[in-house]
Structure 1
Amino acid sequence: MQPEPTAELRHRTVEAPAGRLHLVEQGTGPLVLLVHGFPESWYSWRRQLPALAAAGHRAVAIDVRGYGRSSKPEATDAYRMLDLVEDNVAVVRALGEESAVVVGHDWGSNIAAASALLHPEVFRAVGLLSVPYTPPGGPRPTDIFGQLGGPEQEFYVSYFQEPGRAEAEIEPDIRGWLAGFYAALSADTMPARGEPDPHFVTRGGGRLRDRFPAGSLPAWLSEDDLDVYAGEFERTGITGALNRYRTMDRDWEDLAPHRGAPIKQPSLFIGGAQDASTTWMSDAIDAYPTTLPALSASHLLDGCGHWIQQERPEEVNHLLTDWLATLQGPTRHGC
């Protein structure tokens, strides 16, 4: 059972380097900033906002730049990681706070990690969902992903690189595409272990959606939920979201001075045991004693896919609130 809300959800926009950032907040107390991934919005945290508020926190879920009601800069390089980190800092300041715990899912996990790495004076702890932390460095990202599809297939990250290409597939039927993408990464609708993961590659110049699983929506996603997500992208388009993938090599250059750097603040990781992100990146999880030396705990939820805080909200809420209770909350400033 979900806790009763302590206050109504409050929508507002704040000034940020992006121009305008939309956020939704609930509760009072130490600030917890929630950062969504692809292809989602603040709504991905709808189950966490009341739970964190009931536990005595000021929970704030943002629309990342390019998503929802936040500004959508035109330039591709406006979606660099450095810019997204500065957006997070601006939100904390605009809310009248000096520091926050930052929690991210999917791309939001990478954004949260980079925020903690680059601004430890602002982000006093970091929670990572689904995508493990890997320090900056290593081979150039597009070189890595370009090798994953094989000679006759193309990995989805590579497929997203060319401006306009993925848009031509997605935007004529955003609702149907989102339903297939969400299903492909959900524990109850993804292919059985040992079978190909159809959403990760295109075949013979085809489309990603040609290999999405057919059938019903995953259990966590209602028709009404899908309407919310689709409505946001039908209004804003998908380009801003895809531009995050198109700046990965630039991030690699920007973050080169932090090559191999650990995150030293208190941290938490929660992943799904059936999520490809945790199986592909199992070495990153194994390296946590070095890369996350102040890690409180690392959890893999059995029978859970990628959309972890939506597939298993009660477990995730319990793990988050228990972890947050171990952190020393700052004196609150502002309103």
Structure 2
Amino acid sequence: MPDVSDLPEPIHRLVPSPAGRTHLVEQGSGPLVLLLHGFPESWYSWRRQLPALAAAGYRAVAIDVRGYGRSSRPDDIAAYRMLELVEDNVAVVRALGEESAIVIGHDWGANIAATSALVHPDVFRAVGLLSVPYAPRGGPRPSEVFAGMGGGAEEFYVSYFQEQGRAEAEIEPDVRGWLAGIYAALSADTMPGADAGDPHFLVRGGRLRDRFPAGLPGWLSESELDVYAGEFERTGMGGALARYRNMDRDWEDLAAYDGAAIGQPSLFVGGGRDASTTWLAEAIGAYPETLPGLVGSHVLDGAGHWLQQERPVEVNGLLVEWLRQLR
């Protein structure tokens, strides 16, 4: 990998966007690479990618998605619909004085990145997806799908998050502890065994954290956890959870893109132990039709969900290799 020892420090900036303002962290110069985090994270989830991409000759920019960190947090839940987040990304590109960018996302950020490339192919000339595969819009209304998961005794986490105030009541009294639990539950080295129950589901009337393991995953230090916890203790969880509360609106808003493929050069990297990869194996298998510009698809053996933090050296290598093919 390129040498990062002589790089200038990352720069924090606030730029105008339809949300009001978007906070970003920028490092390096060259072609613009926009990095989008997932839930429950922030720009900080890209801390190990910013210097690597900058050293490789790119202008790496990680944002706080609307509702997170130092970016604006509108009160209206509908303000967090997917198309609004896409326009924030376009505004960031323009505010940075660029006409186009490569967009890379993890978790929810992967969905936001894919939709950005789908809706604005003139702005987002290539798209990288980490952990969550691209699956075109289609099928029944999402809330109906998720409501049917888990059977009578259990409830799927997405349905749980969709109910306003319910998850907040679990998380906000102990943000730091809850974050430690969700990070550990989906990390390869601390993932609970099958006998502990799937942490993506909760017993009806229970809490999601009841299935979280104790301890921190190897990729996360106490001080790094403090950074994440500090952001959510300041902002609350409502803005972050609003993404789940707009899935039906997104389904309606994106009706014109039903079944649509993304034609730009693309990359997918998933974790072999990540439910997002295994549950959506059919979507990965459909890439010849849904991502006809696919340059590479990689599943890292033994990796969990927090991919760029669990396996930064491998992920950085794959990202730089892919980016160099786009020049």
Tell me the TM-score range normalised by the shorter chain.
over 0.9
Moved more, 127-136 or 140-149: 140-149
1:133 aligned partner: 134
Cα offsets for 1:142-169 (capped at 9, x unmatched):
1111111210111100001111111000
SS in 2 for 1:160: helix
1:331 aligned partner: none
- How far the C-alpha of 1:139 sits from its partner, in A, is 1.4
Structure 1 residue 45 corresponds to structure 2 residue 57: no
Change (3 A) 1:263 1:286: same
- How far the C-alpha of 1:204 sits from its partner, in A, is 3.2
Determine the C-alpha separation between the residues in 1 that align with 2:262 and 2:131.
Answer: 17
Determine the C-alpha separation between the residues in 2 that align with 1:128 and 1:235.
Answer: 29
1:7 aligned partner: 8
Contact kept in structure 2, 1:47 and 1:313, CA below 8 Å: yes
- How far the C-alpha of 1:244 sits from its partner, in A, is 0.2
Change (3 A) 1:2 1:55: closer
Determine the C-alpha separation between the residues in 2 that align with 1:200 and 1:2.
Answer: 37
- How far the C-alpha of 1:18 sits from its partner, in A, is 0.5
- How far the C-alpha of 1:86 sits from its partner, in A, is 0.2
**1:78 counterpart letter in structure 2:** A
**2:82 counterpart letter in structure 1:** M
Determine the C-alpha separation between the residues in 1 that align with 2:314 and 2:170.
Answer: 35
Cα offsets for 1:269-313 (capped at 9, x unmatched):
000000000010000000000000010010000110000000000
SS in 2 for 1:151: coil
Gaps of 5+ in 2: none
**1:285 counterpart letter in structure 2:** I
Contact kept in structure 2, 1:2 and 1:314, CA below 8 Å: no
Moved more, 158-167 or 124-133: 158-167
Within-5 A mapping of 1:101-250? 101-192=102-193, 194-195=194-195, 197-214=197-214, 216-250=215-249
Determine the C-alpha separation between the residues in 1 that align with 2:178 and 2:151.
Answer: 24
Contact kept in structure 2, 1:190 and 1:197, CA below 8 Å: no
- How far the C-alpha of 1:319 sits from its partner, in A, is 0.2
Contact kept in structure 1, 2:2 and 2:55, CA below 8 Å: no
SS in 1 for 2:126: strand
Contact kept in structure 2, 1:152 and 1:203, CA below 8 Å: yes
Moved more, 145-154 or 108-117: 145-154
Contact kept in structure 1, 2:18 and 2:87, CA below 8 Å: yes
Structure 1 residue 18 corresponds to structure 2 residue 19: yes
Runs of 4+ residues deviating >6 angstroms: none
Structure 1 residue 260 corresponds to structure 2 residue 262: no
Change (3 A) 1:257 1:197: farther
Determine the C-alpha separation between the residues in 2 that align with 1:7 and 1:271.
Answer: 31
Change (3 A) 1:2 1:222: farther
Moved more, 2-11 or 32-41: 2-11
Structure 1 residue 72 corresponds to structure 2 residue 73: yes
Determine the C-alpha separation between the residues in 2 that align with 1:190 and 1:197.
Answer: 11
Gaps of 5+ in 1: 329-335
**1:86 counterpart letter in structure 2:** E
Determine the C-alpha separation between the residues in 2 that align with 1:24 and 1:239.
Answer: 23
Structure 1 residue 275 corresponds to structure 2 residue 274: yes
The size of the alignment, in residue pairs, is 326
SS in 1 for 2:326: coil
Cα offsets for 1:190-224 (capped at 9, x unmatched):
024x556532111130111111112x200000001
Contact kept in structure 2, 1:273 and 1:304, CA below 8 Å: yes
- How far the C-alpha of 1:3 sits from its partner, in A, is 3.6
Determine the C-alpha separation between the residues in 1 that align with 2:92 and 2:191.
Answer: 36
TM-score when normalising by structure 2: 0.98
Contact kept in structure 2, 1:266 and 1:296, CA below 8 Å: yes
